[in-house]
Amino acid sequence: MDDRRPALDIRTPAQDSRLTPLIDALLDDFDPFAIEDLGARGRRVHFFSTCTRDDAAQALDRRFGEAGVSVRPVEVDDGDWAVRSQASLRFVRVGDIVVAPPWDVPATAAAETRVVIRPSMGFGTGHHASTRLCLRALQALPLRGRRVLDIGTGSGVLAIAAALRGAGPILAVDIDADAVETARANVLLNRVEQAVQVRCADVRVDDLPSAQVVFANVHAALVCRDAGRLARLAGAGGTLVIGGVTDEEEDAVCRKLAPYGGAGARYAEDEWLALTFCG
């Protein structure tokens, strides 16, 4: 059995940070399941199939080759790369929410919410700014007894945190079957299976129920493409929390969502943002 996975190593000119969100928007069309930060060596983008990986490489080269973006197809030998790369992770505290891997669970105060997440290919360990910003937004919302929809759940961290703070029922969805499996395991690990259902679904094509609070920690390109759908899922009087947006993408996202409701809170960390919209 061949355990290798198709991926792309992408390097951008160090002086041009504007390229990263543009590259991410193009990559979204090819449904990568994870993006790995390689530090000075750039980023590694993981795909479900070699065909999709190769199509993405051609598209990136056509669009960004002249801008100095380097794209190199690679095969990753071990499917457990995420577990290896995240084995050194430690707990993260975001306000009164603590997100911890099983090997570094700290003692917490009674007023704190502790979420235990086993790292895998799904995002959501709390070490990325977009996750932390969504957790900050989550803490500012009245959640007890409220219906929640978590789109692009990844590890399930937002759905689990919402459940531990009294929300429910909660539906967490992702297009990646591996992420769904991981999120289900994390739901069981945190003993919130009575409140949280996890399933594989695509907001673009699947019929999802509306909720009083909708989280969408996804690419800005997806938000812009499906703004009306996301806003309708939150419904009148609901709250839509958007993560995964950079400051350069903020205006485009706000323009797309403006017809459906008013802008609420804005949370920022470095170039990353989380935005709330009220229906």
Residue 204 CB-density burial (10 A; 0-12 exposed, 13-18 middle, 19+ buried): exposed
pLDDT at position 129, please? 84
pLDDT at position 78, please? 57
Q: What is the mean pLDDT of residues 125-154?
A: 92
What is the C-alpha R_g of the chain?
18
Q: What is the mean pLDDT of residues 162-173?
A: 97
pLDDT of 1 above 50: no
Q: Which of 134, 141, 258, 153 is nearest to 201 (CA)?
A: 153
Euclidean distance between CA atoms 121 and 36, whole angstroms: 10
> Which is more confidently placed, 39 or 217?
217
The model carries a pTM of 0.74
Percent of the chain with pLDDT over 90: 53
In the chain, the domains with their CATH numbers are: 5-79 (3.30.70.120), 121-278 (3.40.50.150)
State pLDDT tens for residues 215-248: 999 888 889 999 999 999 998 889 999 998 988 8
Two tokens, residue 257: 């969502």
State pLDDT tens for residues 83-97: 555 555 688 899 999
- In three-state secondary structure terms, 145 is coil
> Which is more confidently placed, 249 or 123?
249
